[in-house]
Amino acid sequence: MVPLQFFGGQDPTLFLIITIAYALFFLVFALGGTRIQAKLWLMQIWDFVRQVEAWSEEGRKMAVRAIRAFSDGSVDVPSLVDGLLDFVLIEPVERDPVGVLKRLDHLLNVRQSRFRGLIQEIAPKAGSDQIANLEMVLEAASALRQLFFILRHFYLLSKESGSIALVSQIQMLLPFLTKTASAYKSALSAFYDGKPIGDGAGALAVSMLLRDLAKEARFYSFDGELVKAEVTYKGRDVIILRAAGPSGRVGKPGEGLLKVLREKGNRVKRIIMIDAGVKFEGEETGKVAEGVGAAIGGPGVEKYKIEVGVVEREIPIDALIIKMSLDEALTPMKKKIIKGAKEAKERVKKIIEGFTKENDAVVVVGVGNCIGIGN
């Protein structure tokens, strides 16, 4: 027991005041501690929402500047850019799964055609390469804008409802949301300046492969937004596919691969795909993982086409994944990713040598956004 003299000699008044203060302190935290914590969390969330709002507005201004450079001055660029940033795609119903990917493929084609058509109207001086880059700038700005809308929505909802559970969930997600928002912000600058990004690692790897196999060989236009090259390596015919560069395109690798399979018939004995993949925390950037399957992301339309094509023809398909984080995939390409692309290129050679025979045809597909990566 604490001596009474410690609280002011023989006078118990100070001891009583301190006791009451401690009691009130613990009472306040016992009854209102969660509310105080929620208020503090809401303040942190609001600070982040305002930060994302500033990034979103910066992205909008960047998109306006980019498009205005190709405008003829006859339209109100800012208001039309706002319309493009809010452009939506309503996904097909999934209750009837039969043909859902075909319906999604159709909607994606319509969406791309319409979106690029609107860009062409606003920026009539832009060529096809510039339109592709402008599309990427708008996509990144739109992603930031939608992220801001979603965050603001849940912030206001949690503030109005006073739900501790909702506030705590948003608070726990803040570190991940911060990384995502920062990645999209960095992607804006990369697309605006036309710099290669980490997602283009697969395309870079096959470009390096082509240079190694035949220095004089070049890619040529093939099936829309893809380019193709055909070379010979140790008696094998090697067909290399990737999106056209150096503008921001990903093309339709699935359709391109099916076209090659139809052209080559039964001669294709192996398919090798290279793409960027999300790494686990702690994994080294640029690490190459080897496996089997269609190495391609996105909504799944192109992956479905590839899987159906190889299953019907019973063609083995290898996958090489160049590991990186989400922000590294969307930001200017790092040296470690370039090193990973070089390693993937060498592994392709080993697969060709070890799993195919002379006179076989092998298709190598480099998947990814080819902005800043020339043909």
Confidence at residue 101, expressed as pLDDT on a 0 to 100 scale: 92
Q: What is the per-residue DSSP string for 133-164?
A: HHHHHHHHHHHHHHHHHHHHHHHHHHHHHT-H
CB–CB of 342/207 below 8 Å?
no
Burial class of residue 275 (count of CB atoms within 10 Å of its CB; 0-12, 13-18, 19+): buried
List the chain domain ranges.
41-193, 198-366
Which H or E element spans position 239? Answer: strand 236-243
Residue 23 pLDDT:
74
- Report pTM: 0.86
- Greatest pairwise CA separation for the chain in angstroms: 105
Say what the alpha-carbon torsion angle 345, 346, 351, 353 is, to the nearest 10 degrees: 120
Task: Give the per-residue pLDDT at 236.
Answer: 95
How far, in Å, CA of 102 to CA of 75, rounded? 36
**DSSP structure class, residue 274:** E
Instruction: Quote the pLDDT of residue 217.
Output: 87
- Asked whether the beta carbons of 64 and 42 are under 8 A apart, the reply is no
Residue 15 three-state SS = helix
Provide block-wise average pLDDT over 10 residues at a time, the chain (375 residues).
52 74 70 75 93 95 94 89 93 85 94 94 92 94 95 92 85 90 90 93 97 90 92 95 93 95 93 96 95 94 95 96 94 96 97 95 96 89
Topology of the domain covering 198-366: Rossmann fold (3.40.50)
Locate all alpha helices (DSSP H) within the chain, ordered by sequence: 13-68, 77-85, 100-122, 128-161, 164-193, 201-213, 253-264, 301-313, 326-330, 335-355
* β-bridge mates for residue 273, sequence order: 319, 365
pLDDT value of residue 11: 62
Q: Provide the pLDDT for residue 30.
A: 64
